Amino acid sequence: MNFKQVLGLLLAILGVASLFVAHSIDARLDEGREQISSAESQVGQGRRLFSGSPATRDVGNALLFNPADRKINAAKGEVDQYALLATQLRIGGVVLIVAGIGVIYFFRKK
C-alpha cells in the first residue's frame, strides 16, 4: 500500500469511528429524553395537586414549578445541542467513509 491508500484507509476508519460516537450520543440522548419526560410528568402531577385554589397555585408556581420548568427547558436545550452534534458526526462519518474508499479506489495499484 502506498501513502495515499493508507491515508484513504485512515479516513475510512475515522469515518466509522465518527459513526460509532454518533450512535453512542444518540443512546445517551434517548436516556436524557426519558428523564426529561419523567420530570415533566412529575411537575404536571405537582401542578394538579397545587391547583386547588389560586393561592396555592401561585405559591406552587413561584416556589416549585417555575424553577423546575427552567431546569427542564435548559435540559431540552442541551439535548438539542447534542442531537445536532450527533447529526453532524453522522454526516461527517459518512463523508469520511466515502472519501476514504474513493481515495483507496482511485490510488489502487493497477
Distance CA 21, CA 30 (A): 14
Write down the pLDDT at residue 67: 82
Which residue in 95, 100, 103, 93 sits closest to 11, CA to CA?
100
> Residue 8: how many CB atoms within 10 A of its CB?
22
Sign of CA dihedral 50, 53, 55, 61: positive
Write down the pLDDT at residue 48: 77
pLDDT tens sequence for the chain (110 residues):
789 889 999 999 999 999 999 999 999 999 999 999 999 898 888 777 767 777 666 666 666 667 888 899 999 999 999 999 999 999 999 999 999 999 999 888 76
DSSP state of 50: T
Domain ranges of the chain: 3-106
Distance CA 87, CA 82 (A): 9
pTM of the model: 0.78
Buried b (16+ CB within 10 A) or exposed e, 53-78: eeeeeeebbeeebeebeeebeeeeee
